[in-house]
Amino acid sequence: MLTIRDHHSGDLFDPWAHLGPQRRALLEKSWAGVVRQHLLSHLPVSELAPFFDDNLGRPGKDLHVAMSALILQQMHDLSDAATVEAIAFNEAWHYALDARGEEDMYLCERTLRNYRAMVVAGGLDEVLFRVLTDQLIKTFEVDTTRQRLDSTVLRSNMRKLTRLGVLCETIEKFLRELSGHDAALYARVDPALLGRHVDREQGGCFGVARPSEAQRRLPQAAADLLLLVRAFAGTSAADLPAYALLERVLREQCEVINSSGGEGEKLRVKEDTELTGDVLQNPSDPGSTYNAHKGQGYTVQIMETYTPQPPAAHQPQEAAGDGQSPAQQPLKPDLVTHVAIGKMTEYDGAAVMPALEDTASRGIAPKQMLGDTHYGLEDNRQQAAAKGVELISPAQPPAGSQQEPPRLSLEQFILDDKGQVKQCPAGHAPLSVSTSKSGANYQARFDAATCAACPLRAQCPVQKPRSPRDPTVRLQYQQERLSMRDRRLAEETPQFKERYRWRAGIEATMSRLKHQMGWAALRVRGKAAIAYEAFMGALGLNILRCARCVALNARG
Ligand code: SF4
């Protein structure tokens, strides 16, 4: 039965009077004070109401207490057992949760798990993050005009499997589900297949093989996969989640030739090079994907506000930039404003517009946005500009600039105001320059003999002479390349470097999320559970940052 207690109305008698003024002040300046004063009454508890009956069943826990406990659990990176203990005996938790009696101070592990499952099932983790973050931004008057975006990887708590491992684990998972679903259907499974994949006494661990054997066993595992898909198509087993995984793995890892099911049907195991990063990595987490640089898991995009001036509280002896002392200028927290979970195969550049749209829909869009090279695509810059946002991001370095010795590029040539080459990197003027009628294409011609003798020739982008009789070599470029040159040269200026240097601060946020919020070693798997960790962890970090500001401002 639904229980929502009133946390808005004041008390006739102060229930926390027993704490004494000093302990009370300590609590009010901590995360407990932030949760109690600024968040508790704004929890979207009504979103959980559909999971309860108004009249039937035992009265549930106060939804404020249950939701807050879930937030605090993520904020402190606690196990369920440790959370239950904290709810029962920790006075700071009681203060934060506004726990008044025994019924508020005891939550068994199972109840905690049930509430968490409701939050995950209802997608309330995202709602909680948005509603409460927006509330903190409002309460602490956080300036959201400057924000920075970056991504990190969240790894599921799952084993890394070989291709043979993926096939065999998928088969085993299906057989396990089938045995629990319908004994009669399970009895139809080929005993030899059961011996390879289930019956441990007959060797069962077909997927456990040395790498040299794995390649040999792969066709047999693929044949078993096809056999099961064919045998149970059209039966009630085809509705099992594991059957869908069988079909997916068959589609991703194999090619069925002449798939009519007759004698002409053949099965080909695809080459490694034919597989993409989107293929199933482990049947225990179908949403996890693979990136050659970052490995398996999920990408999480994080956007946060930043303050360009070092916080006054970090310089207690110095006046702040506008001449005010730190005591006159209260410290404001930098808060995570946007969290998004995506595939490892998605390019970071695709995350810019969703981040801007999300923050704009909540009225906290930035005016300036910092991101690394991956976010700074020209398309993104133009679309962001159309929304009134300046995307500050370095351009991709010119091709060959990472080589040793680096290739020269248009940036090393001196151009005039019209975009024509005046001088090459070796200090030579071109024999002639020209522009196409459309004005889109440019060309500079240099003396071939001079270039042939030039020590920079191997690095220079000028083309070879068109024929042995051609006395010139050409440098050709387009109008868009000129724009890119302007952008790259602007990035060399101290002004750009000063503006861009604040991007690096988000690495510290990522580090805190990984090591303080437990993102580095998650105990869950599956996209929904990973998203829960991401949203609640980011919210926990926001609360801790607000609490730190409250404490520093109180210190003066
Ligand atoms: S190769 Fe020719 S154009 Fe290039 S730097 Fe040398 S002289 Fe200049």
Question: The pTM is what?
Answer: 0.86
Ligand 1 pocket, residue 231 CB under 6 Å: no
Cα 467 to middle of ligand 1, angstroms: 18
Asked if pLDDT for residue 438 goes beyond 70, the answer is yes
**Per-residue model confidence (pLDDT) at position 320:** 41
Which two tokens mark 185? 């259907």
Between CA 430 and CA 99 the distance in angstroms is 81
ω into 405 cis (within 30 of 0): yes
Asked if pLDDT for residue 422 goes beyond 50, the answer is yes
**Per-residue model confidence (pLDDT) at position 264:** 72
Ligand 1 pocket, residue 410 CB under 6 Å: no
Instruction: Decide yes or no: CATH 3.30.420 for domain 295-394+492-555.
Output: yes
Asked if pLDDT for residue 319 goes beyond 50, the answer is no
| H/E run at residue 554 | helix 527-555
SS3 call for 204: coil
Between CA 147 and CA 301 the distance in angstroms is 13
Between CA 338 and CA 302 the distance in angstroms is 6
**Per-residue model confidence (pLDDT) at position 555:** 82
Residue 338 and residue 301 in contact, taking contact as beta carbons nearer than 8 Å: yes
Which ranges of 402-490 would DSSP assign to H, the alpha helix? 448-452, 479-490
Q: Which atom of ligand 1 is nearest to the CA of 450?
A: 7
Higher pLDDT, 8 or 181: 181
**Per-residue model confidence (pLDDT) at position 200:** 64
φ, ψ (nearest 5 deg) of residue 432: -155, 155
**Per-residue model confidence (pLDDT) at position 278:** 94
Q: Which atom of ligand 1 is nearest to the CA of 461?
A: 4
**Per-residue model confidence (pLDDT) at position 19:** 84
Higher pLDDT, 258 or 94: 94
Residue 231 and residue 178 in contact, taking contact as beta carbons nearer than 8 Å: no
Ligand 1 pocket, residue 161 CB under 6 Å: no
What stretch(es) of the chain map to CATH 3.30.420?
Answer: 295-394+492-555
Q: Which of 422, 462, 473 to mutate to test the pocket of ligand 1 (most atoms within 8 A of CB)?
A: 462
List the residue whose alpha carbon is closest to atom 4 of ligand 1. Answer: 460
Cα 446 to middle of ligand 1, angstroms: 8
pLDDT, tens digit, for every residue of 444-496?
999 999 999 999 999 999 998 888 888 999 999 999 999 999 999 999 999 99
Which one, of 154, 90, 95, lies nearest residue 536 by Cα?
154
Q: What percent of the chain has pLDDT over 70?
A: 89
Q: Which of 428, 431, 475, 476 to mutate to test the pocket of ligand 1 (most atoms within 8 A of CB)?
A: 428
Ligand 1 pocket, residue 431 CB under 6 Å: no
The whole-number average pLDDT for the span 241-262 is 88
Residues shown for the chain: 556
Ligand 1 pocket, residue 450 CB under 6 Å: yes
